[in-house]
Amino acid sequence: MLSPLRRLLPAGYKGFAYRSQSTAATASISKERWFITLTRRLAIGGVLAYAYFDPSPEDLTTAYLTPIRLARDVYTAAAIVADYKYSLSSVSGEAREAALHGCHQRGAERLLALCFANGGVYTKLGQHIGQLDHLLPEEYVETMRTNLLDRCPVSPPEEVRRTFMHDLGAPPERLFAYFNETPIASASLAQVHEARDHSGRRLAVKVQHAGLRESCAADVATVAALVAAARLVFPDFDYTWLVDEMRENLPKELDFCHEAANAERCRANLKLSAQRGAWFASRVHIPEVDYRLTSERILTMEFVEGMGVTDVAALRAAGLDPRQVSLLVAETFSDMIFTHGYVHCDPHAANMMVRKVNGSAQLVLLDHGLYKSITDSFRLEYAALWRSLIFADHEGIRRHSAAMNAGDAYPIFACMLTQKSWDQILEARSDHLHIQRSPQQRETAQHYMALYGREISELLSRMPRPLLLLLKTNDCLRSVDHALGSEVNTFVITARECSAALARERLKGAPGPLVRLAVAWERLQVEARMLAFEAIVWYSGVKARVRRIRKRSAEQDEEG
């Protein structure tokens, strides 16, 4: 068994027994010769192995970066856990609450430092944490949202220049009449520069961070190692689906030609919706791409000025109603999901802008790298599931959840989709799915996550892959809706869109008078329920305003 190893030793070498019988000088020479021979043979073996396996530069980079990133992950996780254990071990009451908030903030800062150090995929994961304000402590959400949406580390000008030379064969100063070396925004995968072409047209040039493809391969390997280790320690928690999603979607996001194709298809779908009479379709803009100056790592498009979609102060200063913006966002994405089945799956606040056109808000969609195409059968099942949720139809929820592989865990699945308890989902009220953002609501959601963590993990592992990205999309849209602070509830829009999609499908299959009558009656029921909901929300808003007025009046009386 050890004979192959003996070939690495010098001839006549007999181990410690041999050295003990030799003189000190002979032993020293023998040891030196053995070391030289071993080093030489290892070097030859390494060269032969390199030649045999022929690793790519990406493989070598991955082999180098993976242990470094893994070490950072382990250190950060250990530091966060140790901080919680030490800081909370001997305090109680209000002191414990204050210490807990301190732990949350320090943990968020450590996690942010990890995202900045590793970059790439970690930045995207940090961005998604910034959308989970209904589940995670505020310190984590605010830290990630403030620092990772459009303030990521930037690539230096020399790296940008090398990317242009490699991809387009010329430096930016030759390709453009003007090119600002200082980026106006930087995200997880790329940064954006302002430029002008030789005709004076203003352009936005998106340049991928150098070396990202190699580091992303290492990130996937690191996450895979962490998931495998977690599964060994906690066999009930299987997150291999996360690694599969990363492997599938990252190469697409890193190909800006693919992103340009996604943008074109989204624009075409909006035109179809406009032809169908959708009011919102003409109020959504997709920036035009300049294909002459576009490659896999460089995307050149028209420059669009606007306000952040969640910048309520700027919207109001421009005379735009945040509630109308919220409606526009909700209608646009519901149309993508329930009508076209081709969905922008990364709609966080930094990927949407608003500008004022002809006195109304126009939504500008950016970053089209991550889309999901869903089949008609899945789209219609998903629409039918949402209709059942909105009408509190227990049997419908069970039946359509089965099509999503939820099985007997359909109540938990429904809670994941709506962020409501099962009892609330089955309430026979028009506003039973209305989400009221409050510390109590967040605490309830966190409690459910902790209580049903194993079941949620099992559900995620067996769900259809498109549904995973739709869940991420829902998280992003809820975060935007909440940040706008309006009384619009996305479930109202969802109800109308999924009902319309199902009605179109029924009329397509059997467009007889009885079917038309049944479809009209169903649509009428939806509208009646939604009008009732909007009336309840309006009444609640009036009551809240009256309470605020009375409170201010009472405070003024006390001061007087």
Query: Is-contact 349 149, C-beta < 8 A?
Result: yes
**How many C-beta neighbours within 10 Å does residue 70 have?**
18
Rounded-to-integer distance, Cα 386 and Cα 417, Å: 9
User: From residue 54, how far is each of 214, 218, 220 by CA, in Å?
Assistant: 16, 18, 21
Rounded-to-integer distance, Cα 508 and Cα 510, Å: 6
Torsion of Cα atoms, 190 then 191 then 194 then 198, to 10°: -30
Q: Is 313 exposed, middle or buried (0-12, 13-18, 19+ CB in 10 A)?
A: exposed
What is the 8-class DSSP label of residue 287? P
What is the 8-class DSSP label of residue 536? H
Rounded-to-integer distance, Cα 130 and Cα 138, Å: 9
Please give the span between the terminal C-alpha atoms of the chain, in angstroms, as a whole number.
96
Is 83 annotated as catalytic?
Answer: no
DSSP reduced 3-state for 371: strand
Rounded-to-integer distance, Cα 255 and Cα 371, Å: 13
The residue among 216, 473, 481, 224 whose CA lies nearest residue 370 is 473
Reduced 3-state DSSP string for 53-98: HCCCHHHHHHHHHHHHHHHHHHHHHHHHHHHHHHHHCCCCHHHHHH
Rounded-to-integer distance, Cα 138 and Cα 123, Å: 18
* Residue 303 dihedral angles phi and psi, to the nearest 5°: -85, 130
Rounded-to-integer distance, Cα 343 and Cα 371, Å: 5
DSSP reduced 3-state for 342: strand
Instruction: Check 335, 346, 431, 481 and give the catalytic one.
Output: 346
CA atoms within 13 A on the CB side of 251: 4
Task: Determine the residue type at 548.
Answer: R
The residue among 373, 372, 354 whose CA lies nearest residue 364 is 354
DSSP reduced 3-state for 103: helix
User: From residue 344, how far is each of 27, 70, 351, 374, 511 by CA, in Å?
Assistant: 71, 31, 10, 12, 32
Rounded-to-integer distance, Cα 56 and Cα 60, Å: 6
CA atoms within 13 A on the CB side of 190: 24
Beta strands in 330-486, from DSSP E residues, in sequence order: 342-344, 352-357, 360-365, 371-373
Rounded-to-integer distance, Cα 400 and Cα 383, Å: 9
Catalytic residue numbers, as ranges: 346
